[in-house]
Amino acid sequence: MCRFWTSPSDLGSKVSRSLIKLIKSKPRIGWIKADIVTSEEANQEINRLRKELDSINNQLIKVSTSAPKGTDNLEQGDDEFEMKYRYYYSGDNFTSIKITWNTIFYILAPLMVDETTEDDLHNELRKYLQGHLNKEIKRSLPPRNFEVDNVDFQTIKVQLIALGLISKSDKKRSIKDSSTYWSLTPYGESIMMKLRARKK
């Protein structure tokens, strides 16, 4: 309990050796700074906030993978949409096709798993229409120069946004890239899986 010292360096040596001996003989939790001491009340508040954060995160996951509120009165699923388009076959032809919203999303969704341009979405619809019409006409010379009516294409885009299935990408790009990019929302991904994932 008591040590004698003769110089400042001797004092330091005595103190350090005594502390080491005390730590070994009577180990304790240790010293902590007063500014980081937490009370029981503080610990309880931290635990409460942690549980609240977990609850909010779970709610966000649930919301992001379910249909947005207010979409019940919108066309969707197996509701049909009359899409007008033009093609060339011995002259310009204008016609339309009735197509369900599920079919439209089935066609376009895989392109947006990462993200894709608006032009790519347009081209995918053109390919679908061309394949559909080739089956209908069944002639040696297939129709060409398919163009989806732009007003109808914009309607499709707006409808998919309103249903919470797609969103515009906000990723930064080069100044030269003027394309508009689209990607699936978490809810859109879940709907795509239901439509396209193959079951046993």
Domains of the chain, start order: 8-64 (no CATH), 80-196 (1.10.10.10)
Helix (H) or strand (E) holding 37: none
Give the pLDDT of residue 60.
Answer: 66
C-alpha to C-alpha distance for 100 and 144, rounded to whole angstroms: 24
Instruction: Give the mean pLDDT per block of 10 residues along the chain (200 residues).
Output: 79 82 75 63 80 76 72 94 88 89 96 93 92 72 84 96 92 84 93 91
DSSP characters over the chain: -----SSHHHHHHHHHHHHHHHHHHS--S----GGG---HHHHHHHHHHHHHHHHHHHHHHHHHTSPPTT-TTS--TT-EEEEEEEEESSSEEEEEEEEEHHHHHHHHGGGGSS-EEHHHHHHHHHHHHHHHHHHHH--SS--EEEEE-HHHHHHHHHHHHHTTSEEE------TT----EEEE-HHHHHHHHHHHSPP-
pLDDT number for residue 140: 62
Q: Is the pTM above the cut of 0.75?
A: no
Of 183, 77, 165, the closest CA to residue 121 belongs to: 183
